[in-house]
Every structure is written in structure tokens, then in C-alpha cells.
Amino acid sequence: VWHEPFGMSVLEAYIQEKPVFASNLGALPNLIEDGKSGILFNIKDKNDVINKITQALKNPENLKTMGRYGFLLAKEKYNAETHYRQLMEIYNKLIQ
């Protein structure tokens, strides 16, 4: 069990228009919009994992929609310009 601090693999999946199936630990719930850009499961409940995989496989069109949403989310929220702006805001707060 690992509490992922950020999850670059999430962004890599988004850029490939793939939905993300991940546990609800660490920062992953902050990156994944459950049911929109991927599916979160309770890592301590194997039935939750099984049920969510089963439901996802029954609706491949929904998986495509989630993948597309993740792509748009990555382009909007995690692009270089947004990252630079947010970083500069932090720096400016520190030097004031």
C-alpha cells in the first residue's frame, strides 16, 4: 500500500485519453474525479474493486468518455502555463 503523493501516471493516462482506475489513497482522489475522469475504489474492500471493474467493463463507451474528460482536464488544469502561474504566485507570496 502506497500513499501516492502526486501520481504522474494519472496525468500520463489522461494525455493518452485513458480513464484512471485507482485506490482512494494519497493524492489520487485529488487528481481523479470519480466517475468523470476515472474510477476510485476502496483499497480495503476487494468487493468494491471487483464491482467497479465489472461495471466499467460493461460500459466501454463510458470509459471512452472518462478518458476524453481526463484529457481535457489535463490540458486545462495541468498545463505548463497554469503550473508556471501557480508557482509564481507561491514565490511572490514568499518574498512579500
Q: Give the mean pLDDT per block of 10 residues along the chain (96 residues).
A: 80 96 92 96 95 96 98 93 94 94
Percent share of the chain, pLDDT over 90: 84
Question: Collapsing DSSP states into helix, strand and coil, what is residue 5?
Answer: coil
What's the pTM? 0.82
Q: d(Cα 74, Cα 72) in Å, to the nearest integer?
A: 5
Q: Where are the beta strands (DSSP E) in the chain?
A: 20-23, 38-41
Specify whether the backbone of 4 is left (phi greater than 0), alpha (psi in -120 to 50) or beta: beta
Contacts of 72 (CB under 8 A, 6+ apart): none
Rounded-to-integer distance, Cα 35 and Cα 69, Å: 10
Phi first, then psi: give them for residue 40, nearest 5 degrees: -100, 140
